[in-house]
Structure 1
Amino acid sequence: MLQHISRRTLAQMFAVAGIRYMVGPAHADDAPTEADISREAILYDPAAPTAGNPKGDLTIVVFFDYNCPFCKKAEPELERLVKTDGKIRLVYKDWPILTPDSIKGAQWALAAKYQNRYDAAHLAMMGIPGPKIPAERMREAIAKSGVDMDRLDADFQAHGDDITKLLRRNLAQADSLGLMGTPAYIVGQYRVTQALNYEGFKRVAADARARAAQK
């Protein structure tokens, strides 16, 4: 698990990356609200990308960073579970906390969502081995995945404020859950703060379903 950096350092990173997203709100009315960090918001934020079965009986939320090698190692294991299980709804929480280039990657992935290519951009960046991947290499990988880069740039310009607000909500939600690093998962009622293999994800999913059935 890679550790969460301090808020001050994170704010400095955002400034270096040229992003309008800061840890603190740009305006008083931009501060995260109780609604932003509610369980409903964590599970069902309409702006958050999703995969798997939209009507699944179990939701898994993954907080990740494109420069986290442990996230990349666990990614295919989680994807395998979602595919073989067939009843899991997967929610992606872009949480760029490691480097300024992580922020760029998250921005581009979320901009690709407007052309229905978030999955392509996400998998392309997750497929780059190692930590501290430069933004230029991320962008090259996204382009090779078939994403229309001219449209991506136009969508980012048009929807940059919405992307900023989503990243801010993701940060607030991670803080409200006490998450300290990537990867982190919410599996039903369980919080998992380490990378798992397929069998590990399978066991946690089974435990989450069993616990839900007891209520």
Structure 2
Amino acid sequence: MIRPLAAALTALALAAPAQALDLTDMTEDERSAFRAEVRAYLLDNPEVLMEAIGVLEERQAEAQAQNDVALVQVNSDALFRDPASWVGGNPEGDVTLVEFVDYRCSYCRKAHEDVAQLVESDGNIRFIVKEFPILGEQSVISSQFAVATLQVAGPEAYKQVHDALITFRGTVTPENLQRLAESFDLDADAILAQMDAPEVKQVITENRALAQRMQISGTPTFVLEDQMLRGYVPLEGMRQIVAQVRAD
């Protein structure tokens, strides 16, 4: 049975504004009694804590979502209209999906097939890739090669290289990259030479700066219109979010 005093005190503590309950107005004995009663109530009714934690998490999620919307609005040009980024899917699609990707990221690899199925099956999604190497030198080299391919050989070649790099399990070496380029009948020498060009490094530097402004620290991170999806989302989950975006 819940003790009436404990219930009353705890209800007051949880329901009233913080400033309405001033412990400094209590005597030391009253404060000790209050704390003991609250503790006893919570031990007798731990579900109250779970309910409070649930409310807190909901409020934090709402605040994060509102903050993400603001971040997307402020950085919309860099996200959606950057001429240096590869654009796939349907360039005239009614929904735009942006992915920050690292080729050595296991969850990026896991998401790759899901994203490809989403874009292909939907047919009306504009898909943008942001090279965001954060997992060491191998990641940087891979992104440099991908960006250099886009600049030297164009978007179709980039798509081929991007798909190959995300599934590549070996060590990224100049020899392996040359063989990769040659497997698609690309000018391997020109692409390898472009990798250290200022234009390539600028793309990666600007993507990192954008990620910092967007408070993105991991991959994959997706921007779907004004929503941010931090981490891997299965295919059906992505489809549901796309449908929700369209409905809104």
Common topology (TM > 0.5): yes
Partner of 1:152: 191
The one-letter code of the counterpart of 2:140 is: I
Partner of 2:80: 43
Q: Distance in 2 between matches of 1:193 and 1:39?
A: 17
| 2:123 matches 1:115 | no
Runs of 4+ in 1 over 2 A off after TM superposition: 140-148, 153-157
| 2:106 matches 1:66 | no
One of 106, 119, 127 as aligned partner of 1:82: 119
Q: Pick the structure with greater CA Rg.
A: 2
Q: What is the correspondence of 1:129-148 to structure 2 with a 5 Å cutoff?
A: 129=169, 133-136=170-173, 139=177, 140-148=179-187
| 2:166 matches 1:126 | yes
The one-letter code of the counterpart of 2:99 is: V
Would you say how many aligned residue pairs link Structure 1 and Structure 2? 170
| 2:95–2:224 Cα contact (<8 Å) kept | yes
The alpha carbon displacement at 1:108 in A equals 0.5
3-state SS of paired residue (1:181): coil
The one-letter code of the counterpart of 1:65 is: D
Q: Distance in 1 between matches of 2:112 and 2:225?
A: 18
The one-letter code of the counterpart of 1:104 is: I
The change in CA–CA distance for 1:197 and 1:146 in structure 2 (over 3 A counts) is farther
The alpha carbon displacement at 1:138 in A equals 5.6
The change in CA–CA distance for 1:201 and 1:145 in structure 2 (over 3 A counts) is farther
3-state SS of paired residue (2:83): coil
| 2:201 matches 1:164 | yes
Q: Distance in 2 between matches of 1:143 and 1:171?
A: 30
Partner of 2:139: 102
One of 66, 73, 89 as aligned partner of 1:52: 89
Partner of 1:28: none
TM-score normalised according to structure 2 size: 0.64
RCO (CA 8 Å, sep 6+): is it higher in 1 or 2? 1
The alpha carbon displacement at 1:148 in A equals 2.5
- What RMSD in Å do the two structures reach over aligned CA positions? 1.8
Q: Distance in 1 between matches of 2:222 and 2:187?
A: 30
Gaps of 5+ in 2: 1-73
Partner of 1:200: 237
More helix by share: 2
Gaps of 5+ in 1: 1-36
